[in-house]
Amino acid sequence: MAQSLSGSVPALAGWSVEGSLPILAVVIVAGLGTTLLFAVSLAAYRRRRRAQYRLIALAVGALLARSVVGAGTVLGVVPMPAHHLIAHSLDFLIAALVLYAVYAHAPGSVGDESASD
């Protein structure tokens, strides 16, 4: 069992998400909701065909991938260290995509196609 720096066993040392049905249920519901949001973001991109909609669809797709990683962790396919590396990398990617979509495609910005209209 892992010990803390003080040498005592932490209160949650034996707690694991692997095989937890309640956590799996939450991840599945979140995944279903995210799948719906991803479908809507793809529909918006197909309708508008603009770069900012593509960036948002990619961000929501990364959010969906995060749910898949979470389910894989609960099912024992993705080890917890890999889960943290992948999930936090996806968090960064999601934030970067959304911020770039806002920054690069703000009205009057260099990437804004409607600024010259």
Residue 15 has a pLDDT of 61
SS3 for 71? helix
Tens of pLDDT along the chain (117 residues)? 444 444 554 544 556 788 788 999 999 999 999 999 999 999 999 999 999 999 999 999 999 999 999 999 999 999 999 999 999 999 999 999 999 999 988 887 665 555 444
- Burial level of 90, CB count in 10 A (0-12/13-18/19+)? buried
Helix 51-74 vs helix 21-48: crossing angle, to nearest 10: 160
Taking the model in full, what pTM does it have?
Answer: 0.76
Residue 109 has a pLDDT of 65
For the chain, give me the number of helices (H) and strands (E)? 3, 0
